[in-house]
């Protein structure tokens, strides 16, 4: 334990000498020094906020930063975490110097701004989440490409079950060696489907052992537009020619999806 740490503790105890202002919790040659400071600071609304700051000075302090905990009944957990983060940032500016008193003075002067910035950040995050939620509303369309199906019968039944369980409609389409899955439904259900598709042992490998799908590609994921026809069910269909497959897409108002992704896959 450094003499600087002991001298700083002595100075802090003298400065914060009021009732309950400074409580020394531990002074140890092996664990360092721990003490709690209670100080009243003006918040954004002008009301008094009682901050409880717990400092632990490791034996290598001030050559290493202190550990800091922040608690207050008038602040949220998020706000307390923000205060702690700003204090640790400020501590780096005083590295290798006794800093606790400087940190206490800094938060006394800047608590209002830290809390206000935290509230602004939370509002922005909530606004972003609201926008994301709005984007997720409605029907989404995803087009998937599978490289192969070795256990075709089992694979097809599994895909049909997933779509039924998740209330997804669309097509499982076979045309020559091409295998496409076109899904329609709410975005969460589509995301759940993709998780199942990538994590379940839905096929078999070349030796006949069950395996996960590793050769799936998401060709397109987009929100359905008014021109897109909604499929009423999920069906498995086989097409003899490319024209038949193209007609399926065009009938659903998805001609651009066909030309932009299916034809590109065939080239």
Residue pair 235/148 in contact by the 8 Å Cβ criterion: no
- pLDDT value at position 215? 79
Q: What's the pLDDT band for 135 if we cut at 50, 70, 90?
A: low
**Residue with structure tokens 């909604």?**
230
Q: Per-residue pLDDT tens for 33-89? A: 999 999 999 888 788 999 999 999 999 999 899 999 999 999 988 899 999 999 999
Q: What is the pTM of this model?
A: 0.50
Q: What's the pLDDT band for 211 if we cut at 50, 70, 90?
A: confident
The residue among 78, 99, 237, 57 whose CA lies nearest residue 160 is: 237
- pLDDT value at position 27? 93
129 pLDDT exceeds 70? no
Mean pLDDT, residues 119-124: 55
- pLDDT value at position 131? 44
- pLDDT value at position 238? 95
Q: Per-residue pLDDT tens for 74-97? A: 998 889 999 999 999 999 989 889
- pLDDT value at position 123? 47
**Residue with structure tokens 């740490």?**
5
- pLDDT value at position 45? 77
126 pLDDT exceeds 60? no
Helix, strand, or coil here: 35? strand
- pLDDT value at position 7? 92
- pLDDT value at position 267? 62
- pLDDT value at position 10? 93
- pLDDT value at position 249? 93
**Ramachandran region, residue 20 (left: φ > 0; alpha: ψ -120 to 50; beta: rest):** left
Q: Per-residue pLDDT tens for 142-197? A: 999 998 898 899 999 999 999 999 999 999 999 999 999 999 999 899 999 998 98
Number of Cβ within 10 Å of residue 43's Cβ equals 17
Domains recognised in the chain with CATH numbers: 3-133 (3.10.110.10), 140-266 (3.30.70.100)
Higher-scoring residue by pLDDT: 178, 215: 178
In whole angstroms, give the CA distance from residue 189 to residue 183.
10
- pLDDT value at position 120? 59
Q: Indicate the average pLDDT of the chain.
A: 88
- pLDDT value at position 237? 95
- pLDDT value at position 57? 95
Residue pair 164/177 in contact by the 8 Å Cβ criterion: no
């Amino acid at each position: 334990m450094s003499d600087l740490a002991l001298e700083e503790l002595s100075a802090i105890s003298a400065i914060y000498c009021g009732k309950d202002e400074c409580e020394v919790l531990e002074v140890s040659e092996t664990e360092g020094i721990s003490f709690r400071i209670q100080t009243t600071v003006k918040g954004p609304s002008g009301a008094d906020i009682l901050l409880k700051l717990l400092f632990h000075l490791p034996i290598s302090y001030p050559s290493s930063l202190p550990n800091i905990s922040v608690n207050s009944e008038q602040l949220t957990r998020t706000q307390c975490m923000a205060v702690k983060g700003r204090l640790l940032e400020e501590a780096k500016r005083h590295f290798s110097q006794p800093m606790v008193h400087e940190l206490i003075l800094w938060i006394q002067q800047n608590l209002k701004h830290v809390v206000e910035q935290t509230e602004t950040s939370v509002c922005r995050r909530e606004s972003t989440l609201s926008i994301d939620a709005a984007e997720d509303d409605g029907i989404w369309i995803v087009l998937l490409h599978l490289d192969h199906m070795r256990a075709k019968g089992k694979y097809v039944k599994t895909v049909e079950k997933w779509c039924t369980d998740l209330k997804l409609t669309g097509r499982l389409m076979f045309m020559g060696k091409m295998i496409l899955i076109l899904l329609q439904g709410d975005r969460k259900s589509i995301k759940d489907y993709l998780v199942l598709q990538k994590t379940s042992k839905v096929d078999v490998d070349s030796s006949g052992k069950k395996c996960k799908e590793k050769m799936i590609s998401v060709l397109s994921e987009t929100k359905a537009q008014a021109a897109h026809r909604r499929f009423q069910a999920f069906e498995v269909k086989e097409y003899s020619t490319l024209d038949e497959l193209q007609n399926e897409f065009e009938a659903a108002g998805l001609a651009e999806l066909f030309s932009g992704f299916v034809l590109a896959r065939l080239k």
